[in-house]
Amino acid sequence: MRFLLLAAVLAACAPDAPPAPPPVALRLESRPVAGLVVDGLIDNGWMPLREVSVPLKGGGPGEVALKAAHDNERLYLLAIWPDAKASQSRYWRYEGDLKWAKSETEDGFSVCWSPGALADAFRKEGCGISCHEGRHVYPGTGSGFLDFWYWGAQQCALFPQARDMWLRQGGEQRLRGDRQPEDSDNVPNVSDKYDGPSAFPQFRKEGDDRIVPFGRNLKEVTPEWIRKYWKEEVNIGREVPLDLLRARKGSRGDVLAAARHYDDQGKWVLEISRALVTGNSDDFPLGLGTVLFAVAVHDDSAGAAHAVSGPIELSFASAP
């Protein structure tokens, strides 16, 4: 009896059992591969690597296929998702009488990396911890940030780069671009004189005028110029780009990306790559053990509507 009483007292004084571990994330392994080129083509080096089908929630495709590789210096991700038609629909369309309609949609893909400070919350919710009903929200008040890469079918069409950004935990709740020099990244084609574009291609080309580099072949357009020189009957319905494209430099240009849309197969193939360690304080270091990330597919979206994954656990295998 005394033994049973002592056992009961000890049990009552024992510390609480540790909480159950968070749900297991999907697991993806980065295997060592040499010679991969970021060009939107599925090189032979990808063929033997294990593919993981990642379910998505939200509008757009229901899943995306992912593979991962590294060469001890860079991480490479291959993403393939179904999409019957490529969307590059960021433009101004002239409707007459100095009026322009704006479209801001494109296909896109984003990757969100979690640092250790947010790992527990991220493991449960993925990028849901940073995006909720159009607002960026953060758990707690600790330090940390989310590293965020975005590839847009139109915004990233001319240069093989994604946009490298970050979200801070706490404080001002918005996406911030990584540091860059003044002559870096796209220029919004938005006038400060009226509701319309500030420039358009001086020499029209056959086909689409939406993907245009920032440079000398642009004509400044103002309401006064349109009234004096614009021929309404010719230009009704004309589309000009919403973005004047320019390469990203500095920390903003760390992430390589290239994609191809295969019309006959109804799918996007995207390759995306970054150095494992960039040395920049606004970049999350990779390759150091297991890391957590999530992905999203933006289908003909202005960014707000996208299909998101849950948390994915990425580990790095060493060479055999």
Q: Tell me: the pLDDT tens digits for 44-100?
A: 999 999 999 999 988 789 999 999 999 989 999 999 999 999 999 999 999 999 999
Q: Tell me the average pLDDT across 151-178.
A: 83
Quickly count: other Cβ atoms within 10 Å of residue 169's Cβ.
Answer: 21
d(CA 154, CA 146): 24
pLDDT value at position 6? 33
- Asked if residue 139 has pLDDT above 80, the reply is no
Tens-digit pLDDT profile for residues 294-313: 899 999 988 667 888 888 88
| 150 within some domain | yes
pLDDT value at position 215? 87
Give the range of the structural domain holding residue 66, as residue numbers without chain letter. Answer: 26-90+100-178+252-316
pLDDT band of 160, cuts 50, 70, 90: very high
> What SS3 state is found at 2?
helix
Domain count, the chain: 1
Q: Tell me the average pLDDT across 186-200.
A: 94
Long-range contacts of 121-129 (CB under 8 A, 24+ apart): 122/292, 122/294, 122/311, 123/22, 123/23, 123/25, 123/292, 123/311, 124/22, 124/23, 124/311, 125/310, 125/311, 126/294, 126/308, 126/309, 126/310, 126/311, 126/312, 127/294, 127/296, 127/308, 128/308
| 290 within some domain | yes
Indicate the burial class of 226 (C-beta count within 10 angstroms; 0-12, 13-18, 19 or more).
middle
Please report, rounded to a whole number, the percentage of residues in the chain having pLDDT higher than 90.
Answer: 54
| 236 within some domain | no
| 229 within some domain | no
Give the tokens for residue 143. 């330090």
| 113 within some domain | yes
pLDDT band of 167, cuts 50, 70, 90: confident
Q: Which range has highest mean pLDDT (117-121, 217-221, 273-277, 289-293)? A: 273-277
- What Rg, from alpha-carbon coordinates, does the chain have? 24
| 77 within some domain | yes
Please report, rounded to a whole number, the percentage of residues in the chain having pLDDT higher than 70.
Answer: 78
- Asked if residue 123 has pLDDT above 50, the reply is yes
d(CA 160, CA 27): 28
| 41 within some domain | yes
- Supply the CATH number for residue 311's domain: 2.60.40.1190
DSSP assignment, residue 252?
G
| 242 within some domain | no
